[in-house]
Structure 1
């Protein structure tokens, strides 16, 4: 399906599903508020090692629509003024970035309205690399969550559950975004998995790909269900292969611009 067709399907789906998730926003907000509280035990036991989960953001970084996500214009020249300054033009959903509830709901929380305590939370990493090697559009499914819980214990309320598909290693290659035929192709979450995580009062999900949904999604169903519920997502994460399955604490350096549907962010983890 062409990219324009995908976006038209998304617009129609947004109109039809909006009312379905309005009642879930309060539950999502409550889950987010648990993040910092749940992170305290891990912080107390941390080694102090910090891992940067953020890609360097420049004009070459892959984007959903294929257009550069950032443009630089010289505002002040150092040879002329003694200091230098860039004027930046940035698309909110580019680079390593946040998806706020407002991104897929008319009246959801903007990125500026995210509760501060939700931006510090336990990090749980689900390893999807084996599945992703066999299927470029592999998904985190309920069975993957159940296997994680069996191996690591319960997922803390308010946590961020991130998918490590190994896709970050492809970021400089066309394969990060498309298959050989030019179609979107990258792993993501299934709605069955995110519905399960919502029931566990998880506060956020994260991916090392371009989208919370897999590349072959035609309706962006995870975006339509997860974000209007009051929760947020993180896309384009780096270095998840350096993280343990559990025990790290995530620090989300979300932007704080009014009416923001999301934005590039500095994402750090303490182990």
Structure 2
């Protein structure tokens, strides 16, 4: 099976959700000076490509309560491109974009392809498309997790936000209430086929609300 790395590399001052502490990746020792090499990582649990657990916003389970098998997903990609900035994505858009061979009741995760990962590192990245609460509730009813190539499946507050946009995190809450997971800041979803396997294993620490992951898609020879 062909692997596709869907992760943004961790780097100093990489994009983070507004208000989050910046990321630092600092070389602390080198082979030339010290005889060995070490690197210090300063990062939030929601840094880079990461997976959110219900404990992020609710009294639901933390990541360490999920077995490794739960972080390996049978996934389907729904291609919504081209998307407008801050475009609402509802249930119909997801259903209409589902590949004909895919039954939402037979997959673990729906990967929403907006193409917004091409704006990584730009201010525009935060004016991404977002899902409606109804779309999230539909995913929850299908017992389906969510993957996005944006920083947030809910609207992210910026100066371009419209007053009609929902406050808070209704998509997160609808999915977390059903003990679903959310993988954020994916990249390169346009390279994967309609149906693929996604591995997104988090770091192991107690009461983890989220964790950076190395998100890797595995696919056969199917073409998009």
TM-score bracket for the superposition, by shorter chain length: 0.7 to 0.9
For 1:14-93, list aligned pairs within 5 A: 48-65=1-18, 67=20, 69-93=22-46
1:168 pairs, out of 117, 125, 145, with: 117
Q: Which secondary structure does the structure 2 equivalent of 1:195 belong to?
A: helix
Segments ≥4 residues shifted beyond 3 Å: 66-69, 72-77
- The superposition leaves residues 158-187 of structure 1 with CA deviations (integer Å, 9 ceiling, x where unpaired) of 51101111101110322112xxxxxxx211
- For the pair 1:209 / 2:150, whether they are aligned, the reply is yes
Q: 1:195 to 1:231 in 2, by over 3 A?
A: same
- For the pair 1:258 / 2:206, whether they are aligned, the reply is yes
- The superposition leaves residues 167-219 of structure 1 with CA deviations (integer Å, 9 ceiling, x where unpaired) of 01110322112xxxxxxx211221111111111121x1011111021334422
- For the pair 1:140 / 2:57, whether they are aligned, the reply is no
Kept after mapping to 2: 8 A contact 1:164/1:240: yes
- The equivalent residue for 2:140 is 198
- Structure 1 portions without partners, runs of 5+: 1-47, 178-184
What is the distance in 2 between the residues matched to 1:87 and 1:192? 42
- The equivalent residue for 1:223 is 172
Count, aligned residues:
211
Please report the TM-score for the alignment, with normalisation by the length of structure 1: 0.72
Q: 1:149 to 1:207 in 2, by over 3 A?
A: closer
Higher helix fraction: Structure 1 or Structure 2? 1
Q: Tell me how far 1:139 sits from its aligned partner.
A: 3.0
- For the pair 1:268 / 2:216, whether they are aligned, the reply is yes
Kept after mapping to 2: 8 A contact 1:72/1:88: yes
Higher strand fraction: Structure 1 or Structure 2? 2
Please report the TM-score for the alignment, with normalisation by the length of structure 2: 0.86
What is the distance in 1 between the residues matched to 2:62 and 2:93? 31
- For the pair 1:97 / 2:50, whether they are aligned, the reply is yes
